[in-house]
Amino acid sequence: MNALTPWNIECTGSQCGDSLRHSWLRNQVLNKSDDDILFLRQSGPWRALDLEFPLRVQETLRLSCVIADAFSPTQLFEREPLVCLPVECRDMLLTAVQEAYLEGFLAGEVRDNLRTAASKLSKSLSAMSSVWHDLSDPPGTKLLAAWRCVKCDAETLLAELEKLPRGVVLP
Amino acid sequence: MRVYLCDADELARPWSEMLSVLKDIKGVQIEYPQPVRWSEGEYQYAPDNGEGKTRIAGKSLVILHATPEIDELRKDEDEWKVRAKWLQDRDIWTLIISGAPISKGVQISDLIYRRAAKVTKDAAKPDKVFMVCLRRFVEKLVTTEKADWRVVEPDPYPPNLVALYLLLVAENRASLRELPEHFRTKLTESAMREYEEWFSDLDDAFPSHSGSEGQRKFLKKLFIRVAGGEG
């Protein structure tokens, strides 16, 4: 995406994207080897798999729903100096800026790609969760196969998140 | 003025290598007090030249690492707080550098500032933006004898310049006669100051800054809009 993002000005979209990329996919999923997974399974339930990952998927889907607003320059109207404008004048400017921004930002395409990748990962995580508690798979063959699917889908989602702008998109 | 470069970065490269940008500043004498020792109830900085212990005192700036690669100090991640307090009590300016990706530094007191500096695995690629900011900060410190911490970590973006750009974008699409004149005047003046600050020596200051391409593109579009085009 060839968006104009000088200074990578922090916005809700960049904060959420950074967190999903760094704290979740890179440091909780993609950094785990097969041995790590087998070790974790020996230790009992994996709290992150059961509780945290589904929430992260939801977070990604929420981001996809609000993708246009998440990177919109209208967020800058809540900060100085534009926040100091009279309300009427501010609203008029904001509307014009939002229109210009939406003309150049392909929100629909970004949203669809993100949603598809998140849904796919959600399914592979569910499959992984089922196998995790399957005691008929002691060597972990099914588990590791499921884990590889998770990693593959996590890579795909990470690639989509990498395409997101790194800050407020200027029109 | 003496600048004490203590510790090393997270890859155990001493600041004396990482912060070589300070070497050419007029009026600055750089000391490399390695290693740091806790002795007689206080931290002392003992050089390895056999001339005995040198204590930091007087008008000086100390640059520390938040998590130095010194075994005796790695026991406690908050060790820097103890060291900073020790320096604070002696009225010594202190810059604490952290490798952790914190978005904005913290001014701990008039004398102490803590900021992040990017650490890369390639020693040939230090954090150039930080280097430029540090050089400017020390130059100003030597001249004014006042620590202007905004120089060591400037605002992340020029808000007035960006606001002016948005104003021009909006004006291109709608009639904005209702815009208060005093607001426009103040915004333009502030944006001009920011332009000087950010772009007057862009090539010199930020030759490899990751955002510079985007900033140049922004500037080009801004100029086109100021000139009355659509950008």
| Residue of higher predicted confidence among A127 and B231 | A127
């948005």: which residue's tokens?
B166
Q: Do A100 and B173 touch (CB under 8 A)?
A: yes
Q: How many residue pairs bridge chain A and chain B with CB atoms within 8 Å of each other? A: 83
Mean pLDDT estimate for chain A: 91
pLDDT for position B126: 63
Average pLDDT over residues A41-68: 93
Note whether B157 contacts A80, CB cutoff 8 Å: no
pLDDT band at A76 (very low <50, low <70, confident <90, very high): very high
Please give the ipTM for the structure prediction. Answer: 0.87
CB contact under 8 A, B103 and A10: yes
Tell which A residues from 98 to 137 touch B, by Cβ distance under 8 Å.
Answer: 99-100
Q: How far is B107 from chain A (nearest CA, A)?
A: 20
According to the model, what pLDDT value does residue B144 have? 93
Is B178 in contact with A89 (Cβ distance < 8 A)?
A: yes
Q: Is B176 on the interface with A (CB under 8 A)?
A: yes
Q: End-to-end CA distance of chain A, in Å?
A: 13
On whether the CB atoms of residues B14 and B68 are closer than 8 A, the answer is no
The percent of residues in chain A predicted with pLDDT above 90, rounded, is 61
Element (H, E) at B203: helix B202-205
Read off the amino acid at residue B214.
G
The pLDDT value recorded for residue B88 is: 85
Q: Is the pLDDT of residue A97 over 90?
A: yes
Q: CB–CB of A92 and B167 under 8 A? A: no
Nearest Cα to Cα of residue B30 among B62, B55, B54, B3: B3
Looking at residue B12, its pLDDT comes to: 53
Comparing A17-26, A59-68, B63-72, the range with the smallest average pLDDT is B63-72
CB pair distance less than 8 Å for B157 and A5: no
What is the reported pLDDT for B162? 93
How much is the pLDDT for B6?
72
CA of B142, closest CA in chain A: separation in Å?
A: 30
Q: What is the pLDDT of residue B71?
A: 39
- B106-107 sheet: strands from edge to edge: B29-31, B2-5, B60-65, B93-98, B112-116, B106-107
User: In angstroms, rounded to a whole number, what is the distance separating the alpha carbons of residues B152 and B143?
Assistant: 15
pLDDT score at B49: 40
How much is the pTM?
0.68
What pLDDT score does A169 carry?
Answer: 94
CA–CA min distance B116, chain A (Å): 17
Q: Which residues of chain B have pLDDT under 50?
A: 38, 41, 46-52, 69-76, 205-211
Distance CA B231, CA B216 (A): 13
Which residue in B has a C-alpha nearest to residue A166's C-alpha? Answer: B211
Identify whether the C-beta of residue A25 lies closer than 8 Å to the C-beta of residue A157.
Answer: yes
Q: What is the pLDDT of residue B42?
A: 52
